[in-house]
Structures are given as structure tokens and as C-alpha cells.
Amino acid sequence: MAQIRSTAQIPSSPSSAHDPHGRSPSHGKLVTVMTVVAAVVVLALLSAFVWPGWALNKTDEVEQVQQQTAKEPTKPSIKATKLPDDATELLKAMPDSVLNYARTKAGTSETWQSASPLEEYTITYSTGTKSKDVTVIVGQWSDSDTAKKQYDALAENLTGKELKSGNVKVSGKTTGTYTVHADADGKQATALWQNDTAVFEVTGGKESVLRFYPSFPL
């Protein structure tokens, strides 16, 4: 923490200005300044170690992976594959790239056909190294309740260790929930979330999925 220094100038006072206890006005000002400085230091320590939690030496597995890969490139080294000419608005909403992952394949799919989505697509994102590829399945339903049912059904079938879960929020409003699981062998992972009428599932190597899904913009 940077040292906090007071720049207050303490004026000199004639001896006749001393109070009955022998303290000069300048001494009183010095005490006040030092008290304020001490309070600022205490508040800074409290805010760092109690409230936000950023200074605590505690990170979950997801955060550890994200920290370890923080120095990796954030822009792709390969070009994104163009979308089909008849791409729908949902497919067009899928980003060309996420960090250094570029879209290399996109098309309709029927993985969730039994849940009767209005649209469903499978998109592959790659860094250029096939072992790091991630696959995104996205489906959209007519209302958020139906999308939630599909999310719940998929989440119930996830196996392995749950690494993280919580709410999906857009502009401060909760629009769905998410869960992230590692497979039993700890090498693969799945990130699943619902955002209003859409459901997304990202699968791939654990490190790739944990790095990819938090930056996915939808």
C-alpha cells in the first residue's frame, strides 16, 4: 500500500496561545491530521480484506485457471469463418471471436430437437490449436419459461464436479442462471446458462471452457 503523507503546514504560534494543558493550536492540528490519516489507512485495510474480498488469498478453481491464462493473447490469430448468407438474427448475434478464439464452423443442429426450440445452432471456436477448440450449442424458445425448463433438464444431467454457479444478469436484472461442471476425469468441462429465451452450452477442455465462457457476450 502506498504511504500516505500529510502535506498540511503547521503554523507556528506564540507561547501566549498555549491552552491550559500546555498544547498549542499547531499541536492540535497535527493530532487531527494524524487521526484522519490513521482512519484512512484502517478503512483501506478493511475494504481490501473484508468487504470486496479481492485482497484475500482465496480463489476458486475457475478463478485460478483464469488468472493462469490471463497473459494469453486476447485477439485471434486466425480469421473467423463467414456465416451462411441465410443466417438468422440469432446466428448473426453469435460473435466472430471471443478472446483469441475465432469462429471456424457454424450451422444448424438438432441436439435439443426433443425440446422443440425455435432455432438451434452449433458453433465451433478455435485458437488454431484443435485441442483447445470449444463447441457452443445455442437454442432459442418462444418464452423464458420454456427456455428455463430446457436449462433445468440439461443441468440435471450434468455430471462431475460443479465448479461454479449463479445468476446471469443483464443491466443489473437477473435474466437466468448458469452452472459450470468439470467431467469426472477433470480434463473436460461444460458451461451451461440460460439468458431469457436462449440457452447456451459450451464444451471443451477444462482450461479452454473456463477461460472462454465468461467472455462470451450473450
In a shared domain, residues 204 and 182: yes
Asked if 44 and 79 sit in the same domain, the reply is no
From 58, 75, 95, the end of a domain falls on 58
Domain end marker among 58, 74, 99: 58
Q: Where are the alpha helices (DSSP H) in the chain?
A: 25-49, 61-68, 89-93, 144-157, 206-212
Give tens-digit pLDDT for 158-172: 999 999 999 999 888
Is residue 36 located within the same domain as residue 117? Answer: no
| Helix runs in 61-166, H state only | 61-68, 89-93, 144-157
Q: Which domain holds residue 96?
A: 61-215
pLDDT in tens, 99-119: 999 999 999 999 999 999 999
Residues 74 and 95 in one domain: yes
Region for 172 from its dihedrals, namely left if φ exceeds 0, alpha if ψ lies in -120 to 50, beta otherwise: left
Domain boundary at 39, 58, 77, which? 58
Is the same domain home to 28 and 79? no
What are the residues facing 138 on neighbouring strands? 121, 200
| Pair 10, 68 in one domain | no
Distant-in-sequence, close-in-space partners of 167: CB < 8 Å, separation ≥ 6: 174, 176, 177, 178
The pTM score is 0.71
Residues 35 and 70 in one domain: no
pLDDT tens figures, 33-77: 455 444 443 333 333 333 222 233 344 777 777 777 778 899 999
Note whether 130 and 34 are same-domain residues. Answer: no
Q: How many domains, the chain?
A: 2
Tell whether 79 and 34 lie within a shared domain. Answer: no
**Is the pLDDT confidence value at 132 over 80?**
yes
CATH number at residue 65: 3.40.1000
Are residue 2 and residue 94 in the same domain, yes or no? no
Same domain, 209 and 113: yes
Same domain, 158 and 69: yes
* Res. 142: pLDDT tops 70: yes
- Of 143, 139, 96, 134, the residue nearest 121 (C-alpha): 139
